[in-house]
Structure 1
Amino acid sequence: MLGEHRYTVTSVWTGDRGTGTSGYREYDRSVTLSIEGKPDLLASSDKPFRGDPSKWNPEDLLVASLSECHLLSYLHACVTAGVVMTAYSDHASGLMVEDGKGGGAFAEVVLRPHVTVADASMTDAATAAHHQAHEWCFIANSVNFPVRVEPVIEVARG
């Protein structure tokens, strides 16, 4: 089924300390992200940019989006390939480089999925399914930097 899908989020700045943006150090970077029917997500900028390190920041969310999209695509790829996966975890990381002019960009994201399959005969197909998942991932197809996948496949102990 082909189609267009729209996504809507409301971002509300909650960081006014009483003087608005009267100075760079005079406001908090707190934001509440809302989508109808879902719990609010408390966000901020990253700590080096005067943000609250206890809250999600846009860079965290980008890496998380890539990680989750690969996982969800991989689940489908496994079913298609006849791979019975019993566990999956990913320790993804992203590298963002500042440009010295107040901006910057991600240079890469590395996904490190650790997958457990039900049987040793499935390991090759489980590895190949990562390539298919990467091809299907909407988020990876939308970014302009490399997204590398470095999977580890293990067999469940019987």
Structure 2
Amino acid sequence: MAHHKHSYRVSVAWTGNKGSGTSGYRAYGRDFTVEASGKPSIPGSSDPAFLGDKARWNPEDLLLASASACHKLWYLHLCADAGIVVVAYVDEAEGTMVGGDQGHFTQIVLRPKVTIRAGDDLQRATQLHHEAHKQCFIANSLNFPILCEATFEFAAE
């Protein structure tokens, strides 16, 4: 099987200089902007525990969102191929990180609530979450477990 190489580019610009740069730990803001050509900017900061702005996306939020979105995109693709019609999908994902300066994620739990067309194969829809996990580029790149606790409902006819 041929492997395709995909490259991605972003610009992460620190915007937290309050006039004296990093002259002291509390002297600078943690704010940054993530940009990519032709896309809306993402306002970022560190987690509030590390003096960040809680109103901005932090790297931990973005990692969790990436894992959730990648799983969802693969799941929708696999359902479309299997003839299962997904009409709604909302994931309330949660990540756990431990440690301080040398912190790391220990796991992510995806909790997608999936609504499928009435009469579609619920067992197959459930099984496709396992296949989506195997295919997810983000999950395949991380060194900690990503669990999936999906729930389902059928769309009204």
TM-score range, shorter chain: over 0.9
Map of 1:125 onto structure 2: 124
Deviations 1:21-70 (A, max 9, x none): 00000000000111010011110000000000000000000000000001
Map of 2:40 onto structure 1: 39
- Which amino acid is the alignment partner of residue 131 of structure 1? H
Map of 2:60 onto structure 1: 59
- Which amino acid is the alignment partner of residue 21 of structure 1? T
User: In 2, distance between residues paired with 1:125 and 1:83?
Assistant: 8
Conserved? CA contact 2:85–2:120, under 8 Å = no
Map of 1:83 onto structure 2: 84
Map of 1:22 onto structure 2: 23
Aligned identity (percent) is 51
Structure 2 residue 71 is matched with structure 1 residue 70: yes
Deviation at 1:121, TM superposition (A): 3.9
Structure 1 ranges of 4+ moved more than 2 A: none
Deviation at 1:120, TM superposition (A): 3.5
Given the two structures, how large is their TM-score scaled by the length of structure 2? 0.96
Structure 2 residue 21 is matched with structure 1 residue 7: no
Say which SS state the counterpart of residue 68 (structure 1) adopts: helix
Map of 1:156 onto structure 2: 155
Deviation at 1:119, TM superposition (A): 2.1
Deviation at 1:2, TM superposition (A): 3.1
Change (3 A) 1:11 1:121: closer
Deviation at 1:81, TM superposition (A): 1.7
Query: What CA RMSD, in Å, does the superposition of the two structures yield over aligned residues?
Result: 1.0
Say which SS state the counterpart of residue 114 (structure 2) adopts: strand
User: In 2, distance between residues paired with 1:133 and 1:42?
Assistant: 29
Deviation at 1:79, TM superposition (A): 1.4
Say which SS state the counterpart of residue 96 (structure 1) adopts: strand
Say which SS state the counterpart of residue 32 (structure 1) adopts: strand
User: In 2, distance between residues paired with 1:22 and 1:39?
Assistant: 31
Count of aligned pairs between the two proteins: 156
Deviation at 1:122, TM superposition (A): 1.6
